[in-house]
Chain A
Amino acid sequence: MIRVDDLVKTFRVHRRPAGLGAALRSIFHRKYEIVRAVDGVSFRIERGERVGFLGPNGAGKTTTLKVLSGLLHPTSGAAEVDGFEPRRREPAFLKGITLVMGQKNQLLWDLPAAETYALNRALFDVPRDEYRETLAELSALLDLENLSTKPTRQLSLGERMKCELAAALLHRPKTLFLDEPTIGLDVSMQVAIREFIRSYNQRYEATVLLTSHYMQDVTALCPRIIVIDKGHLIYDGDLRALVRKVHPNKLVSFTMTGAIGPAELERLGDVVSSEGGRIVLRVPQDRLRDLVSHALANLPVVDLSVEDPPVEDIMRELFRPGSAPEAASRAEAEAS
């Protein structure tokens, strides 16, 4: 279980304008600013949960993950992971967690990934039988065949991330902190990594806290999301509830064999797009049933689909200046 109570992490940041004069002045007189990267965040995550951690750049996501993995000390507040205080980085704690950072890698650059696996086996004191068994499982799940014997520098980005995940999970951690694990990967590799994370979570009942800028990672993997912005927690709950509250409308797409007039369309709902025979309308939830019945009965419809607005739109709306806390708190209240 992960417990975070009123977590605050501040950094002192050196600021100076561009230019030689400013550079010279900064030698003698430095200006610092206190930045509250995480500001009073609290949440609980139960064993085996998959939670998406969302927020714009600089929101405090990575800082929180680093605090939870023991790399950063909280300025105030408390963090606990499986009964351990992360900041102490006790060996038993480190053997129970892993931190994967999509933009950094722990693999030995000029050696095959197999050497990093061997190194991690020794450092995490994994019994050889268990190591062989886990490696075989991970190889099957991640399709690592032929990858582990190539020097890391010769692997593609996606191949490297697969090997990175294997290296990070050889000690079978129960808590996974995944910071942008699919960054820069192509779509099929993103899907493969997502499927792997889900199956690892199910097989080992592992807790997963995931940050990603790819909303599909979050929608596909995480029933629950935590949203932070400027260090503040602005939403914690079900992703669908957030979508319903921030954007209470549905998107209804029709494909029709014949044309209908603009006036008729306006009466049905807000027109998002209308190209050829394909029309997309934004419709309030409570009018959805009537609209679909009406369309199927009275219009030349050959195909119809109903969707939530893209999560990207929800996030854009949520992080729009002035809108986030209100919208999210409405959603959170509704969800609870």
Chain B
Amino acid sequence: MAGQLRATLRATPTLLRVGVAETLAYRVEFVIWMLTTTLPLIMLGLWTSVAAQKPFANFGQREFVAYYVGALIVRNLTGSWVVWQLGDEIRRGMLSFRLLRPVHPFITYAATHISSVPMRGLVALPFAVILLFSTAGDLLITDPVLIGVLVVALLGAWLLTFFMLVMIGSVGLFVDKASAVFEVYLGIFAVLSGYLIPLALLPEWAQSIARWAPFRYMLAFPVELAIGFYHDRTDVLRDLGLQWLWVTAVIGAALAVWRAGIRRYEAFGS
């Protein structure tokens, strides 16, 4: 077990390097995919118009700019297309090749997706950072402890998103197409993660659901943390704890669905 772990660690730099090469090879698709994550900019345009006259539920124009640009950045850093990748590989029987390699497919998928983060940063972040600093820079947190928590929260958001999508993609091992499940997920995610509108603008009952559901910890939590919406460190740590509880639960659930799906794959083939 320890030997296998060491072998996996030795493989990681090459996995990441090949992942970067793949990202660069699919550069056009990559840019198009990135454009699909620009919904926050559209929402930003709408809400800043609404807030031009007077603040809406304590959100002025600057808050909307900070929130949606923050959402764009977090979405770019944590987004993943593993659902499509898994679905495609299951349908074409290519998953077999991953299963024949002595490293768990979760690790090889994760390496591919982590590798794309620097490229996404290169393309998306300068634009977003300039926009953020030029209009709402003073809202950003400067406390080193909170910045440290933000890094952990971003890692948590990445893991939560990745494994949630792996779990949904693994449903493709049971049903012909997992895309229908993904469509349902996307709708719920858009509302309860704060991707569509800031959670503070939702009705009280919806906010209660959002507070306990995992989606908020994929996006709104790191965004709200970064733009200084938290006034109390205790609240930050409580939400960080909840986020990592969800990370643990979703990794466990993804592994369970995957294992059950692979048992079925082994029973029925591709």
A122 within 8 A of B: yes
Partner of B97, one of A11, A106, A111, A122: A106
Is the pair A119, B14 in contact by a Cβ cutoff of 8 Å?
Answer: yes
Counting chain A CB atoms within 10 Å of each CB, the highest count among B14, B18, B94, B102 belongs to: B102
In residues 122-137 of chain A, which contact B (Cβ within 8 Å)? 122-125
Main secondary structure of the interface of B (DSSP, over half): helix
Query: 1/0 per residue B225-252: CB within 8 Å of A?
Result: 0000000000000000000000000000
Is the pair A95, B14 in contact by a Cβ cutoff of 8 Å?
Answer: no
A189 within 8 A of B: no
CB distance from B265 to the nearest CB of A (A): 8
* Across-interface contacts of A283 in B (CB, < 8 A): none
Is the pair A120, B101 in contact by a Cβ cutoff of 8 Å?
Answer: yes
In residues 115-155 of chain A, which contact B (Cβ within 8 Å)? 115, 118-125, 151
Partner of B100, one of A72, A99, A125: A99
Please count how many residues in chain A sit with their CB below 8 Å of the partner chain's CB atoms: 33
A4 within 8 A of B: no
Is the pair B269, A72 in contact by a Cβ cutoff of 8 Å?
Answer: yes
Counting chain B CB atoms within 10 Å of each CB, the highest count among A66, A72, A108 belongs to: A72
Partner of B103, one of A70, A106, A111, A123: A123
A87 within 8 A of B: yes
Partner of A66, one of B7, B21, B269: B269
* Across-interface contacts of B142 in A (CB, < 8 A): none
Query: 1/0 per residue B94-130: CB within 8 Å of A?
Result: 1011011111000010000000000000000000000
* Across-interface contacts of A66 in B (CB, < 8 A): 96, 269
A91 within 8 A of B: yes
Is the pair B18, A121 in contact by a Cβ cutoff of 8 Å?
Answer: no
A-B CB contact pairs (8 Å), 20 listed: A11-B268, A69-B100, A70-B100, A72-B267, A89-B99, A94-B100, A99-B96, A104-B94, A104-B96, A104-B97, A108-B18, A108-B22, A111-B25, A118-B17, A119-B15, A122-B14, A123-B15, A123-B101, A124-B101, A125-B11
